[in-house]
């Protein structure tokens, strides 16, 4: 079962200036945003999360540890006096005007190797490049700079406690440029710590965001072996998928197709695709197919629909929770059919406008997908399967800089 423990976090002393000090997780920060965050404040968390210096590996992060130590010496960061858990809440409004809330608890999650009996499960595949970069950072800094994001099915049991925190003062509060209200409460009372940890322990806990950071933490733990320190755990934001208003956006794709195969438009038409003109998202939402997709080509948009039977024919009798996913139907059943010569490059984005921009810039095709529900992700992970990479985009992201965790 997943084990969540309290820890003595480092937090910014200037709680009133948090908006200028926090940053998004490293993997969604563009080079332009990184430069802007560096200029926003000399103590912005991006200076720990992403080194601005050029280079690779240890050279890239040579000065990061010294920066952290200086911030502590100067009182920019202070360590909490006793081990605590941290309740983090986001209040926001979705594009359709619906008011939503995501609340969860940040703690030190004991590391476990992935496996059938593990209390911590992955939901998608990873790539080696980001793991190497994160390992260089963790070696240099010996800190968890940002929390990974884990979800579990807890039946909404913590909702009442989260509601009660409205009556307590926060230890961090700001509204960001997207209108999201971020709040943090430090929980140190033993009974409340035990209650929160017990709720997460019902598990299993599924990694929603942070697969690379989790696998990096495992690698770092193996390097440290039996040495003392906090390397046996990773900082994790744990959210009940049954009780919170989790928003999972689709990860759309743009692709480049290998040469030497059939024309993509001809292949789509052979697969039953129909031209739909403008409003591709409306066509996607209006389809009653098991697995609808909109392909964006330079000349038009095409709706193509895949049945469950076609997915079963392609993958066999694998876990139903996994087979039911649109992203599985795309990668396992449809793409091998329409592009048998293979895909040479993929780009991932939640923004359909970015897909259209890439097609205009010379990419061969884009694919728009439907969103999936957070409980589906838990069910797939519990089945023992993993989704293809970049299968889901949780929004809002867990912000970096509300609390840091030392591994020393």
Residues 220, 119 contacting (CB under 8 angstroms): no
pLDDT of residue 30: 86
Residues 292, 370 contacting (CB under 8 angstroms): yes
Residues 367 and 193: their CA atoms lie apart, in Å, by: 44
For residue 364, the tally of other CB atoms under 10 A from its CB is: 18
Q: Number of C-alpha atoms within 13 angstroms, CB side, residue 114?
A: 19
Distances (CA, A) of 403 to 37, 191, 234, 293, 345: 18, 22, 13, 40, 37
pLDDT in tens, 70-93: 999 999 999 999 999 999 999 999
pLDDT of residue 123: 80
Residues 189 and 91: their CA atoms lie apart, in Å, by: 25
pLDDT exceeds 70 at position 331: yes
Residues 10 and 224: their CA atoms lie apart, in Å, by: 22
pLDDT in tens, 247-282: 998 889 999 999 988 889 999 999 999 999 888 889
pLDDT of residue 392: 84
Out of 113-127, 254-268, 341-355, pick the least confident: 113-127
pLDDT exceeds 70 at position 54: no
pLDDT of residue 154: 93
> For residue 337, is the peptide bond before it cis, meaning its omega torsion is within 30 degrees of 0?
no
Sketch out the chain's domains with CATH numbers.
4-247+395-406 (no CATH), 251-370 (3.30.1760)
pLDDT exceeds 90 at position 53: no
pLDDT exceeds 90 at position 127: no
Residues in the chain: 408
Mean local confidence (pLDDT), 296-304: 95
Residues 282, 356 contacting (CB under 8 angstroms): no
Distances (CA, A) of 2 to 112, 148, 205, 241: 8, 14, 6, 16
pLDDT of residue 52: 65
pLDDT exceeds 80 at position 128: no
3-state DSSP of 82-111: CCEEEEEEEEEECCCCCEEEEEEEEEEEEC
Q: Which has the closest alpha carbon to 390: 327, 304, 332? A: 327
Residues 159, 189 contacting (CB under 8 angstroms): no
pLDDT band at 42 (very low <50, low <70, confident <90, very high): very high
Distances (CA, A) of 86 to 36, 212, 271: 28, 23, 51
pLDDT in tens, 156-182: 999 999 999 999 999 999 999 999 999
Cα 234 versus chain centre, distance: 15
pLDDT band at 55 (very low <50, low <70, confident <90, very high): low
pLDDT of residue 34: 92
pLDDT band at 378 (very low <50, low <70, confident <90, very high): confident
pLDDT in tens, 305-330: 999 999 999 999 899 999 999 999 99
pLDDT exceeds 70 at position 118: yes
Mean local confidence (pLDDT), 93-98: 90
Model pTM score: 0.88
pLDDT exceeds 90 at position 129: no
Out of 81-90, 278-287, 295-304, pick the least confident: 278-287
pLDDT of residue 246: 93
400 or 203: whose pLDDT is higher?
A: 400
Residues 166 and 170: their CA atoms lie apart, in Å, by: 9
pLDDT band at 363 (very low <50, low <70, confident <90, very high): very high
């Amino acid at each position: 079962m997943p084990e969540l423990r309290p820890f003595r976090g480092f937090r910014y002393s200037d709680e009133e200036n948090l908006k200028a000090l926090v940053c998004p997780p490293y993997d969604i920060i563009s080079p332009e945003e990184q430069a802007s965050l560096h200029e926003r404040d000399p103590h912005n968390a991006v200076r720990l999360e992403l080194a601005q210096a050029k280079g690779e590996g240890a050279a890239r992060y040579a000065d990061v540890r010294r920066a952290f130590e200086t911030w502590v010496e100067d009182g920019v960061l202070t360590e909490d006096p006793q081990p605590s858990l941290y309740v983090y809440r986001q209040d926001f409004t979705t594009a359709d005007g619906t008011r939503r809330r995501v609340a969860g608890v940040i703690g030190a999650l004991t590391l476990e190797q992935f496996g059938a009996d593990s209390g911590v499960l992955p939901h998608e595949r990873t790539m080696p490049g980001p793991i190497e970069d994160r390992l260089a950072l963790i070696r240099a800094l010996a800190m968890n700079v940002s929390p990974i994001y884990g979800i579990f099915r807890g039946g909404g049991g913590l909702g009442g406690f989260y509601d009660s925190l409205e009556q307590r003062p926060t230890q961090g509060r700001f509204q960001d440029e997207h209108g999201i209200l971020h709040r943090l409460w430090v929980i140190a009372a033993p009974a409340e710590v035990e209650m929160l940890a017990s709720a997460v322990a019902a598990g299993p806990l599924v990694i929603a965001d942070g697969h690379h950071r989790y696998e990096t933490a495992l690698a770092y733990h193996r390097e440290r072996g039996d040495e003392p320190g906090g390397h046996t755990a990773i900082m994790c934001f744990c959210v009940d998928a049954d009780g919170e208003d989790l928003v999972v956006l689709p990860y759309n794709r743009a692709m480049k197709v290998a040469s030497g195969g059939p024309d993509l438009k001809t292949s789509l038409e052979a697969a039953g695709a129909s031209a739909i003109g403008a409003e591709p998202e409306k066509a996607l939402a209006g389809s009653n197919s098991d697995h609808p997709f909109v392909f964006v080509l330079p000349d038009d948009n095409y709706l193509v629909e895949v049945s469950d039977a076609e997915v079963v024919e392609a993958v066999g009798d694998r876990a139903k929770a996994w087979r039911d996913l649109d992203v599985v139907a795309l990668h396992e059943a449809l793409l091998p059919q329409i592009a048998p010569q293979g895909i040479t490059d993929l780009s991932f984005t939640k923004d359909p406008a970015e897909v259209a921009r890439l097609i205009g810039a010379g990419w061969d095709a884009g694919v728009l997908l439907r969103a999936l529900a957070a409980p589906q992700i838990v069910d797939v992970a519990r089945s023992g399967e993993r989704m293809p990479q970049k299968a889901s985009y949780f929004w809002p992201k867990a912000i970096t800089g509300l609390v840091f965790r030392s591994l020393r």
